[in-house]
Chains A and B, each alone.
Chain A
Amino acid sequence: MPTLEAGALEVFSQVLNADSPHCSIPMFADHVEAGFPSPAQDYVDQKMDLNELCIRHPAATFFVRVSGDSMLEGGIHDGDVLIVDGALQARHGDIVIACLDDSLTVKRLELQPETRLVPMNKAYQPIPIHPDVGTTIVGVVTNVIHSLR
């Protein structure tokens, strides 16, 4: 009997163990590549898409650009791009985009003990939101895109 490698022997022994004068050996009709098959072959069309990672509600998602340093301690810098999801219900502690007076602003939303928009920079004062006047929340900031170079 020619020598067989350990793995191959197991397969053979399974086939031969059948108590029969005939033994059937499975035939693999596929052609075999001579050479090393690319381990990536089966995965070629799965590219990673940043949208998948960052955007849960594409129809309700907008991008805005930050101007100024009022959110510096929240890791939000001048020139950063923010991903804003309008479909999320803003909760206490969320970073939100709100309509304030005549412009759009990014601040931390606090609902307790009172509703206010809080800058994350000690140089700025929190902005109380009067319950009668209210403010429009454009959406919740879900991600910050900050370029390092």
Chain B
Amino acid sequence: MYALVDCNNFYVSCERLFRPDLRHRPVVVLSNNDGCVVARSPEAKALGIGMAVPHFQVRGIIERNNVVVFSSNYTLYADISARVMTILDAMTPAMEVYSIDEAFLHLPDEHAQLQQRLQFGHKVRERLLQWLRIPVCVGIAPTKTLAKLANGAAKRDVACGGVVDLCDPLQRQQLFRQTPVGEVWGVGRRTQAKLQVMGICSVADLAGSSPEKIRRRFSVNLQRTVYELNGQPCFTLESSPVNKQQIMCSRSFAQRITAFEDLREAVCTYTARAAEKLREQGQSAHQVTVFIRTGTHNATERHYSNSGQRRLDFPSNDTLALVHAATSALQSIWRSGYRYAKAGVMLTDLCSEGEVQRGLFDATSAQQHRPALMQAVDAINNSGKGRVWFGGQGIKEDWRMKRAHMSPAYTTRWEDIPTVT
């Protein structure tokens, strides 16, 4: 039995924690570089501010309605997220942190009765509300896919008090008929379009499809989804229909970049950050993709966007090897005379560190010491005492993000702790 705990408008909830004045005001949080709306309070949703719309498109609504705008404060969100996860961890025998604001919990075995399951869900909700003042919804079901749907239902239907249990197949049928197939975990936009062509429009249609047929037309993962919708668990903790097999690090620049040197610095920095994430997960990447582009909203500028790949001889999580590949990929796509607005690095074809096959001739003495070097770099950078980085990343970092509406790091910096009177 699984419970999916998902924080409501998580970034907005974090911004409101120490700002009682924002309780009933419309609040939005913008993405990196203040580009798009990534979180909205219910009041902001009611004003018609859509998800992921560019900031400038809703500037009018924001000004007319006195909407409070925040830049993403990932330091704050990451700290509150870690607290949420710690509290949840103490309430369950096993859990999977699925994203910054979602976790799958294994429901303890003694929760056989509906009443006990609902009680558990409410206990989770109440604890996070009292301890952290973070509101969440809980979806409970025998499979992860159903728990996701139950959570969506809990979010939409206020009357259920934030907890929905979908263990009863009869009760599922009604929800299935009303819910479009695109809401199912792992069904992306393209799959949804293909399913609709086949006449599979609602969740009920997909749940009633032949699993064999679905596997032949789509994938084994979608077949598993069909089983999961029928209450047969296929995805355990740490496994999912969504491919998490990539690590991405991309940002828009505060100001346009025209010089190759500056762009290279940015790409090296993103690569270093992505490599750090890779090592955190204990993985290595075989392929590095770099992409760059000019602005897209300005009609007077000349547009250019391109991406380049490099395949490493052997999967690696060595920052130097990855930076080398990324720089080479960047050189192949760089065109002078453009004003670049964004760059990104993606590491793909990941495998766990232990699976890496080494070549017969690649164990030079310098490379043998690389893991130790990387460990030392990560240890210094995680210690909070200072940072070390590779020469290619540069020192000035002029291109850094624009974050005009940043809130304080209330919980992680002494200078920023909230004031009480």
Is B one of A's binding partners?
yes
Q: Which residues of A contact B (CB under 8 A)?
A: 57-60, 62-68, 70, 81-82, 86-87, 89, 97, 99-106, 136, 138
Q: Give bound CA distance, A80 to B230, whole Å.
A: 58
Residues A106 and B86 in contact in the complex (CB < 8 Å), given A60-B132, A86-B131 = no
Extra contacts besides A57-B131, A105-B420 (13): CB < 8 Å: A59-B83, A59-B132, A60-B83, A62-B411, A62-B418, A63-B411, A65-B417, A66-B419, A67-B420, A81-B417, A103-B20, A103-B420, A104-B418
Q: Does B87 contact A (CB under 8 A)?
A: yes
Q: Which residues of A contact B87 (CB under 8 A)?
A: 59-60
Q: Which residues of A contact B414 (CB under 8 A)?
A: 63
Q: Which residues of A contact B83 (CB under 8 A)?
A: 59-60
Q: Which residues of B contact A105 (CB under 8 A)?
A: 420-421
Residues A101 and B20 in contact in the complex (CB < 8 Å), given A59-B86, A87-B130 = yes
- Of A58, A64, A68, A136, the contact of B418 (CB 8 Å cutoff): A64
Q: Give bound CA distance, A66 to B130, whole Å.
A: 22
Contact with A along B6-35 (1 / 0, CB 8 A): 000000000000101101000000000000
Q: Which residues of A contact B411 (CB under 8 A)?
A: 62-63
- Of A63, A87, A100, the contact of B131 (CB 8 Å cutoff): A87
Q: Which chain A residue lies CB-closest to B87? A: A59
Residues A82 and B420 in contact in the complex (CB < 8 Å), given A59-B86, A103-B21 = yes
Q: Which residues of A contact B418 (CB under 8 A)?
A: 62, 64-65, 104
**B131–A136 CB distance below 8 A:** no
- Of B21, B23, B130, B419, the contact of A64 (CB 8 Å cutoff): B419
**B419–A65 CB distance below 8 A:** yes
Among A59, A60, A102, the most chain B Cβ lie within 10 Å of the Cβ of A59
Q: Which residues of A contact B132 (CB under 8 A)?
A: 59-60, 86
Q: Give bound CA distance, A82 to B418, whole Å.
A: 10
Q: Can you list 8 A-B pairs with a CB-CB distance of less than 8 A?
A: A58-B86, A59-B86, A60-B131, A62-B418, A63-B414, A67-B420, A70-B421, A97-B420
Among B87, B418, B421, the most chain A Cβ lie within 10 Å of the Cβ of B421
**B421–A86 CB distance below 8 A:** no
Contact with A along B68-109 (1 / 0, CB 8 A): 000000000000001110110000000000000000000000
